Structure 1
């Protein structure tokens, strides 16, 4: 009897060991995303200045979740928004193109007939083609007409505001701007009206709740989660849980709540076992709106702020984290921009680039730890409709004579009311060495004529490509924005 049962026992044991080996090799019976399909979470914060994170020097409050993200990933110190104004900046982020290449300028109003052209391919469309679930929860601002809304630009799910939440009946400059009611959009349909600051105080928490729900819903498939929070763009509003928590008033309260939001989303990734297979990117659309004073953020010591071609308008925080792929605890001082997000995400996720030409360059090798590479050589600072106001190569920046916004010399506002500024200050041509003079105070053109010549040559190439309104020149390669009726 002993022999009769021993042979089947050995067969069963061998079968169990074989199954265990297969289980181990395949990582268990649970299907796991391939190495080329990491999840992507992209935070794009509105009017957040370089100095608004505690890891970048903010005081009066702390941003512990973002500081931890910086510790666990890479923190960039010379990262630029593609343009220092809302709609243009967002178009660049999602297409990898200078905004004037795709015909997008300024900040679109509620009834604008213009929007991001549906012919342009966004990050969401490229990843959706790869099988990703795609969702946006927050501020869109790339056209509020039906044909321009997120679900027509590659996103499966949308919840948020269609444009800046100061474009509403309570705008402080109502004498100059009469805005229609502001509604939250779900999918493509208006839902709840944002009538009061109390309503606005729920934006961060409701967006966070939707983002967390999106992760839970799509935890078994690759996803692209885009979280463009409307705050700390004015008017500031914090939920009751965060009011009075900071030492500097409402701005600090709002920043603490935004940091909480990042923490909630990061925590959900960990709880769902997705943390190590998710690229998380945090950055801003432009610098702070400085004439709002105590309701404005900090440019971190850089010159000027939102709406200018100086560093305070363009230089923004950027953190990128992907455990096991992006080495932790690094600081990168190289010139990089939001234009790089699309080609970098596309390469990491194994999808193609847009069929039309783009301006971004992938920085995958740098992210993975190769400090010898320099992905971006130069950058063009455009503003207004299509004015080339500056060009940068490495640490050298040549600013061309131009009229523009300045906050300097004006007393900032207080309590949510803006102070004065001017849009027609005449800035002279000047060369700055950003390594030694990050505040752009000392014109060193006379000492560096060869550098000036190099930068002027680059500018001529840009003008031939995209044009320059300051010189009344049309470029060869601009593409039109979308327009209602076309």
Structure 2
């Protein structure tokens, strides 16, 4: 009889153990997740409406569409400045350009981002992450400001924009003084990048990203893939040349879409999909001066302006345990918020230096009643502070400033013509006037006055009156 009860007790315990391991268990919570891998795919000058999920009905982009179906589309994601170096430094540091003084687009040999501001690589590496960047750096071209010195274990790509070379359509003599070099882990492997080399950039970045995922599947990693394309000059591999039937720009988009698909699939193939957060976006809006070699935006103006055509970028974030697949969001947040939000998710300490971004993970995850913690976001072009947006994204205040308007687009790689315009103090209601057409300053004086107060305080803190810079943008 005693043995019977012993056997019965054993079977009962076994049944409880089996039940606890069955599919009926409660969903895994954020606190129970292992530190996630991080993959950031950062395009260059891509338009908000370039890809199928964001409204391009002429071009099928299955890679980006699949990512959207597996993650969440964010329709009100912004960068604080719509020019290359400033946007990249803001993403990597969580700081406004006004704080880092990284304005506009830096050229060859530029100092770039000072070491007093920690990059994502320098934040995640001490926490045990293996870090890599494959693509366009554009945050400094000195030995101590290139990727190997800024927290990245592996690196490959260009130090600045791919048009800063001897084939520049407008200034070949100037840019011809600086041959573009291709770097691998701190060493130059191509002394003078050719047109043929440029055709392979997207493939090279993608191959290195996929190999990095395979090689680091058993450790936590941060992978940053800032593509050189679709920034002009446009180049595409032989495999994608003519594939779209819609011209070179569409061919380039198809190759970038392929790249997204390859990286996403590599995560799946290596069993990493469930514990990897993937972020897909662009540094700013399209460079419409280049006409048929530029992207699409449904918003006002484009790159190198403070209007939404410049600073609003398409964004998809995928993280299967916590982000609902196939969802979309109109919550507003800026690229400076990604660093602190990722640190929160991965339980990684924030950098020791002061930053401007805040943890908006509740907004990203879509928690009920989540609110943006910012009172405002600051917007600049070059070193010119041009306005603020309310933290909830409903209101946008432009301070008086000059801006450029395209009057004649270029064709086939040649730049078009702009004219300079000026906007006076203006307030736009973004939740009903995304095109920024109706100035409601006089009708909404209370809101305007509060944003003006915040703007003045920000300007006094970060911008000297005499500061000025070229906002042409590369």
Question: Match for residue 373 of structure 1?
Answer: 370
**Alpha-carbon distance change, 406 to 440 in structure 1, aligned in 2, over 3 angstroms:** same
CA-to-aligned-CA distance 1:279-307 (integer Å, 9 cap, x gap): 001111111000100000012x1011110
> Paired residue for 1:339, among 317, 336, 341?
336
Equivalent in the alignment of 1:164: 161
Q: What residue is the counterpart of 1:483 in the other structure?
A: none
Could you give the per-residue CA deviations for residues 321-369 of structure 1, whole angstroms, max 9, x where no partner exists?
A: 0112112222111221101110011111111011121111112222333
Residue of structure 1 aligned with 2:415, choices 410, 415, 418: 418
Match of 1:76 in 2: 74
1:281–1:318 CA contact under 8 A, matched in 2:
yes
Cα distance in 2 for partners of 1:206, 1:37 equals 28
Cα distance in 1 between the residues matched to 2:303 and 2:365: 32
4+ residue segments displaced more than 3 Å: 193-196
Shift of 1:105: 0.9
Corresponding residue number in structure 2 for 1:352? 349
Q: Distance in 1 between matches of 2:103 and 2:73?
A: 29
CA drift of 1:473 comes to: 8.5
Quote the Cα distance in structure 2 between the aligned partners of 1:444 and 1:401. 15
What is the TM-score when the length of structure 2 is the normalising length?
0.89
Residue in structure 1 matching 2:443, options 424, 434, 447? 447
Report how many residues are paired. Answer: 445
Closer/same/farther in 2, CA of residues 473 and 142 from structure 1, 3 Å limit? closer
Deviations 1:40-90 (A, max 9, x none): 101111111111111111143122111121122111111101211000111
User: What is the CA–CA distance in structure 2 between the aligned matches of 1:63 and 1:320, rounded to whole Å?
Assistant: 17
Deviations 1:384-427 (A, max 9, x none): 22x221111132111111123222xx1101111111124x4322
RMSD of equivalent CA atoms: 2.3
Contact 1:60 1:252 in 2 (8 A): no
Q: In the alignment, which residue of structure 1 is the partner of 2:215?
A: 217
Q: Secondary structure at the match of 2:274?
A: helix
The 3-state SS of whatever aligns with 2:417 is coil
- Any stretches of 5+ residues in structure 2 without a counterpart? 1-6, 23-31, 469-474
Give 1:215 shift. 0.7
CA distance in 1, matches of 2:303, 2:464: 21
* Stretch of structure 1 that moved more, 287-296 or 243-252: 243-252
SS of match in other structure, 1:325: coil
The separation in 1 between residues aligned to 2:174 and 2:34, in whole angstroms, is 48
- Tell me the equivalent position of 1:6: none
Residues 55 and 67, structure 1, Cα contact 8 Å, conserved in 2: yes
Q: How does 1:46-195 map to 2 (within 5 A)?
A: 46-112=44-110, 114-174=111-171, 177-179=174-176, 180-193=178-191, 195=193
Tell me, yes or no, if the aligned pair for 2:288 and 2:294 is still in contact at 8 Å. Answer: yes
Over 3 Å counting, the alpha-carbon distance change for 1:347 and 1:324 in structure 2 is same
Q: Which position in structure 1 is the counterpart of 2:307?
A: 310
State the Cα distance separating 1:230 from its structure 2 match: 0.5
Measure the CA separation in 2 of the matches of 1:473 and 1:160.
32
Which runs of structure 2 are paired with 1:279-318 in the superposition (5 Å)?
279-299=277-297, 301-318=298-315
Return the alpha-carbon distance in structure 1 between the equivalents of residues 109 and 276 of structure 2.
37
Equivalent residue number for residue 262 of structure 2 = 264
- Kept in 2: contact 1:308–1:406 (CA 8 A): no
C-alpha displacement at 1:429, in angstroms?
2.2
- Give the TM-score normalised by structure 1: 0.87
Is the Cα–Cα contact under 8 Å of residues 137 and 211 in structure 1 kept in the other structure? Answer: yes
Aligned 8 A contact 2:45 2:229 in 1: yes
Q: 2:244 aligns with which of 223, 240, 246?
A: 246
- Whether the 8 Å CA contact 2:331–2:363 is kept in 1: the answer is no
Q: CA offset at residue 465 of structure 1?
A: 2.1
Displacement of 1:193:
4.1
**Cα deviations by residue, 1:188-219 (Å, 9 ceiling, x for unpaired):** 11112454332211000111000011111111
User: Could you tell me how far apart the structure 2 residues matched to 1:431 and 1:346 are?
Assistant: 34
1:433 aligns with 2:429: yes
Which residue number in structure 2 is paired with residue 29 of structure 1?
Answer: none
Shift, 1:127, TM fit? 1.0
Instruction: Give 1:399's aligned residue.
Output: 398
